[in-house]
Structure 1
Amino acid sequence: MVYSVSTLSSSLRLTDYLIDHRARLDKAVIENASEKHADIGLALGSQTGLTTSFRTEHSQLVSQLDTNRQLVTRLDVMETALDNVHTNGSEFRSNLIALKQNSESLKTASGLARTELGKLTNALNSNVGGVYVFGGVNTGTSPVRDFEYESDPLDPTDPLGPEEAIKDAFNTHFSLTIGLDTDEAAIKALSAADWEGFLDSSAFNNVFDANWTPTWSSATDPDKKMTATIGNGVTTVGSGSANEEAFKSMAKGYSMIAVFGGLDIQKDAEALIADRAIDNLNQATGKVIDLEANTGAIKANVERTNTDIEAKKDVLNLRINDLENVDPNRAAVELSMAQTQLETTYAITAKIQNLNIMKYL
């Protein structure tokens, strides 16, 4: 029996070999470079769904970590702000106690109190990436207005600023205007009992209580803060509120000195105002420390959750690598073999194409 092979059939067969070896080389190049299966579905078969599920969960954990780290940053800023508030309050209280026995003590402290009110405002307007951390739910705008803010008299919807409101309360209670030359003598004549009645009045106290919003703050109340999901079904507080009683007491202590400390009043009235300011600063400092401790506890909880998420992410990453990764040594050998086979096929193809029947006639 005689077998015959045509040039056409040989060429077609070699073309198939070239295509097959080229595909094997491409696959080997990808696996050698990435150290992963070139075709996950083909390599894993029924386990493809498993690795897809692992990757989805891994991505969710990565996203959760990013969210939690942003929350930790906000909590760090809150801690720093609260630490500054309580430190500044403690130092001013100590200075005020030392100044009490000196003549002109409140006049000296008045300017300092205004500076501290500015620091308090700046602390409560702290923000991270445009998120105001003491805004409660309203984190998109700065929550606290400047102490010396002046409202627009032509705009009935614009409430009095903090200092304006305090002076207005004084005027309402005594029918006297701070800063008006003709009322200076009457203000100086006010006794300590008169001042005590004013400091206990609703007109004055509402500036720091019922009228805190919107006179001072646009933040939502402490029971309405931003929440954040830090884990599967786990949520925590994600912001503070400028409407905490601690800040109201702090502002009250500073404001009494800032506004009334600059007035020419009787010594026993000065002592009364100083004592009331010190009492408010004492209360405020303790409450701010409590807020700082609570914020630290929340941050610690988030960081513990992040540690757990990191561990889960690492386990999932190991499982994904077990399924998807190839042995780098085997990948290198297969690449070398694929290159050799392709080069051999090219060489044979070239020899066959050079065959010519005329050479044998």
Structure 2
Amino acid sequence: MVYSVSTLSSSLRLSDYLIDQRARLDKAVIENASKKHADMGLTLGAQTGAAASFRSEFYQLESQLDTNRQLVTRLDVMDTALDNMHNSASTFRSDLIALKSNSNNLKTASNLAYTELDKLTNSLNTNVSGVYVFGGINTGTAPAADFQFKSPGAPVPLGPEEQIEKVFNDYFMHGIDDPATASIPASGDPLGKDWETFLESPAFKDIFDADWTTHWSSATDEKMTSTIENGVTTTGSGSANEKAFGELAEGLSIVAVFGKLELNVEAEKFITDRAVNSLNGGVDKTIAIEAQNGAIKTNVERTNSDVIAKRDVLNVRINDLENVDENRAAVELSLAQTQLEATYAITAKIKDLNILKYL
């Protein structure tokens, strides 16, 4: 039997072999560069679904970590703001007590109180990337109004200072700057026209309580919640409507608005004491909020540690399935390059064959 091989059949066979070698080289290049299988479905077979499931869960955990880190940032900012509020109020309270024994020094404290009210407003309006951390669920709007805001008229509510002056005028039936203000007794007036009765009146107390959201705050009582892991949520924002802030504002406002007036000595002492009492309550409650905020932050950070551990375990399992042996990949790349070069060389020699050379 005689076998014959034509130039055409040899060329076609070499072309097919060349295509195979080129594909092998491409696969080796991809695996050597990415350190992963070039064709996951072909290599993993039935395990492809498991790899896809692991990777999906891995990305979910990564997304959860990003969300939790943003939450920790907000909590850190809230911590700083709360710390500033209670430290500023504590310092002002100490100064107020020191000034108490000196007549007419309440006017000095009044100027300081306006500054402290600005600090309180700025702290309550703290934001992170446009998210107001004390806005409740209304995180897109600065929650605290400026103390000296002047209302343009209905339906815009009066600013805090305007409302305090209005309540004073309505209660005592004369303007706050009227000379009669100097004769208002600290307490004991049979008609209740004294400082003690006024400062305990619903009209005045409501400015810092029931009517807080009318004149001071646009925040909601409801706070934003964040999911920190599957099935676990936690508080993700604060609220400017906390009673602590109302008490701080009351203590500072009493000194700011009434401390600048011409008052008798007993009235000055009474107003100072009342302001100190309000600040005491406000400082204690602010510290309690700060402690609660710290506990939430600790819980989120603990959860983050658990999520990181789960993510790392998944990453190991994914790598076991998808990664190639780097040494083996390098050897295969070298072999593929050598064989492809040899195939090119053989192909070139075959193309040079000519029957005329042998006739």
Q: Aligned ranges for residues 310-349 of structure 1 at < 5 Å?
A: 310-349=308-347
Displacement of 1:105 after TM fit? Answer: 1.6
Match of 1:250 among 244, 248, 251: 248
| Residues 1:21 and 2:21 are matched in the alignment | yes
AA aligned to 1:8 is L
Q: Which residue of 2 aligns with 1:191?
A: 185
Where does structure 1 differ by over 4 angstroms across 4 or more consecutive aligned residues? none
1:139 aligns with 2:153: no
* Pairwise CA distance, 1:214: 1.7
Task: State the 1:157 CA deviation.
Answer: 1.7
Alpha-carbon displacement from aligned partner over 1:188-217 (angstroms, at most 9, x marks no partner): 111112111111111111111111112000
Q: How far does residue 176 in structure 1 lie from its aligned partner after superposition? A: 1.4
**Distance of 2:78 and 2:86 partners within structure 1:** 12
User: 2:94: which partner in 1?
Assistant: 94
Deviations 1:129-187 (A, max 9, x none): 1110001111110000000000012xx220000000000000010011124xxx2x211
Contact 1:138/1:219, CA 8 A, preserved across alignment: yes
1:312 Cα shift?
Answer: 0.4
Q: Which runs of 5+ in 1 are unaligned?
A: none
Q: SS where residue 49 of structure 1 aligns?
A: helix
Aligned to 2:288: 290
**Which amino acid in the other structure matches residue 7 of structure 2?**
T
Q: Does structure 1 residue 42 correspond to structure 2 residue 45? A: no
Question: How far does residue 232 in structure 1 lie from its aligned partner after superposition?
Answer: 0.6
Partner of 1:279: 277
Cα offset, 1:119, TM superposition: 0.3
SS at match of 1:228: strand
Please report how far the alpha carbon of residue 17 of structure 1 lies from its aligned counterpart in structure 2 after TM superposition.
0.4
- CA deviations 1:13-54 (Å, max 9, x no partner) are 000000000000000001111111000111100000000000
Contact 1:51 1:323 in 2 (8 A): yes
| SS at structure 1 position matched to 2:144 | coil
Per-residue CA deviations over 1:319-348 (Å, capped at 9, x if unaligned) read: 000000000000011011101111111111
TM-score, length of structure 1 as denominator length = 0.97
Q: In the alignment, what sits opposite 2:174?
A: 176
> 3-state DSSP class of the match of 1:148?
coil
Match of 1:106 in 2: 106
Offset, 1:77: 0.5
Output the CA distance in 1 between the equivalents of 2:342 and 2:183.
Answer: 113
- Alpha-carbon distance in 2 for matches of 1:326, 1:200: 77
Matched, 1:299 2:293: no
SS at match of 1:192: coil
1:249-294 deviation line (CA, Å, top 9, x unaligned): 0000000000000000111000000000000000111000000000
Q: Which amino acid aligns with 1:148?
A: Q
Q: Amino acid of the residue matched to residue 196 of structure 2?
A: E
In structure 2, the residue corresponding to 1:236 is in which secondary structure? Answer: strand
**2: CA distance, partners of 1:210 / 1:311:** 47
Gaps of 5+ in 2: 188-193
Equivalent in the alignment of 1:161: 159
The question of 1:259 aligning with 2:257 is answered yes
CA distance in 1, matches of 2:39, 2:175: 84
- What is the DSSP-based 3-state SS (H/G/I as helix, E as strand, rest coil) of the residue aligned with 2:139? coil
TM-score (norm 2): 0.98
| CA shift digits 1:41-85 (9 cap, x unpaired) | 111000000000000000000000000000000000000000000
Q: Using the TM superposition, give the Cα deviation of residue 305 of structure 1 relative to its aligned residue in structure 2, in angstroms.
A: 0.3
Q: Distance in 2 between matches of 1:19 and 1:175?
A: 101
Partner of 2:190: none
1:77 match: 77
Residues 1:11 and 2:5 are matched in the alignment: no
Q: Tell me the secondary structure at the aligned position of residue 157 of structure 1.
A: coil
Q: For 1:289, what is the secondary structure of its paired residue?
A: helix
Q: 1:172·1:203 contact (CA, 8 Å) conserved in 2?
A: no
Give the match for residue 356 of structure 1.
354
DSSP 3-state at the match of 2:156: coil
